[in-house]
Amino acid sequence: MKPTLIYAFDPLCGWCFGFHPVIKQLTDRFSDQLNLKIIPGGLATKENVKTVEEGYPNLLSLLPQAEKTTGITYGKNFKLLLEEGSYLMNSEPSCRIQNVVNELNPDIALEFAGRLQEAIFIHGKNLNEWDTFEEILSEFPVNLKDAKTLYQSENMKEITEQNFEWCAKHGATAFPTLLLQIGDEIGILSRGYRPFDTLESHLHHLLNNIQKLQN
């Protein structure tokens, strides 16, 4: 069986937005050697669910460093959203819709994650509203009625909470985090933003060593 690369991210994580091109490159590079699993981990949950003004007033000032490091650019509408300050930072709805897509069509999960982040970080759209999710989903091969039913179900809310707990238990407490699962063993590969070249080299040597051990 192929090892599984687990990508723990959060739709509200600006560094994850910058990391999306990297994870896409990695999955393309190692598509023959790795499976990919995406787990949304819950950046702003419970007591951390606050408006930008109340809980995240420094976000705007942190964007230039993230742009410089990752090479991505945040959209004007997102910056205006931060300036205005009333947007509610709540990871649960967007993590839940990611879990819906993971279940209905896992083959599009990574692409959907990227579009979810573009919606807020480029266009400044509300990731607390079904209308936003429906607009994005309409671009993908997913049944909207099934997606909405699943999104509104108690079972999907429970799955979302369980994924938050799973990330905390396995050390994915900062995003993005990459974990590698080999059989029943799960270990952290990297925590936080890392460039493609660094991760590609690390994964290449790691997978070579695994192959040698199996042979």
Mean pLDDT along residues 130-145: 97
Q: How many residues make up the chain in this entry?
A: 215
**Secondary-structure percent of the chain, ordered helix, strand, coil, rounded to 5:** 60, 15, 30
**Contacts of 183-190 spanning 24+ positions with Cβ under 8 A:** 183/1, 186/6, 189/5
Q: Assign 71 to helix, strand or coil.
A: coil
Could you tell me which of 1, 17, 163, 176 has the C-alpha nearest to residue 97? Answer: 163
pLDDT tens column, 146-198: 999 999 999 999 999 999 999 999 999 999 999 999 999 999 999 999 999 99
Q: What is the pLDDT of residue 37?
A: 97
Q: What is the pTM of this model?
A: 0.95
pLDDT tens column, 1-16: 899 999 999 999 999 9
Q: Assign 51 to helix, strand or coil.
A: strand
Q: What is the pLDDT of residue 185?
A: 94
Q: Work out the end-to-end distance of the chain between its first and last CA atoms, rounded to an integer number of angstroms.
A: 13
Cβ atoms within 10 A of the Cβ of 32, count?
6
pLDDT tens column, 49-92: 999 999 999 999 999 999 999 999 999 999 999 999 999 999 99
Q: What is the pLDDT of residue 210?
A: 83
Q: What is the pLDDT of residue 1?
A: 81
Whether the predicted pLDDT of 215 surpasses 70: no
